[in-house]
Amino acid sequence: MEELLDIYKTISKKEVTIWFEAAKVSDFPKNGGACIKYKDKQIAVFNFERKNTWYACQNVCPHKMEMVLSRGMIGDQNGIPKVACPMHKKTFSLDNGKNLDGDLSPIATYPVKIENSIVYIGFAE
């Protein structure tokens, strides 16, 4: 179980060494998420159109290790963009990964950039 989480580490924009071409903007639902794969990682990518911002995080929920966060509802909690896990509704900040309604481990978050209608996710390796 622990190893599953070990492969996910938050990457800040300045740490990025590779921008992975994930998919076209039009492949993602508006105000929703989709899962992409990068090597052994499943990454949830969210098009938060209401805020005109994109977010990416690990797809695995640290509650029961389910690969489900890309199917979570996104929203806003006092200005903090968040995703609610579809299983038991635990919520996580999409800014820094913090569990907003409990003391679960934070989720790893990744930078996203859009260029020429293509979505790129930043990794460091």
What residues line the site for ligand FES (CB under 6 A)?
Answer: 61, 63-64, 66, 85, 87-88, 90
| Beta bridge pairs of residue 112 | 121
Residue with smaller CB distance to ligand FES, 47 or 58: 58
Residue with smaller CB distance to ligand FES, 16 or 86: 86
Which residues touch 17 (CB under 8 Å, ≥6 apart)? 123, 124, 125
Q: Which of 52, 46, 50 is nearest to 97 (CA)?
A: 46
Residue with smaller CB distance to ligand FES, 26 or 77: 77
Least CB distance to ligand FES at residue 85 (A): 3
CA angle centred on 101, ends 98 and 104, rounded to 5°: 55
Least CB distance to ligand FES at residue 54 (A): 22
Least CB distance to ligand FES at residue 125 (A): 27
- Output phi, psi for 121, to 5 deg: -115, 135
Q: Which of 106, 64, 105, 59 is nearest to 87 (CA)?
A: 64
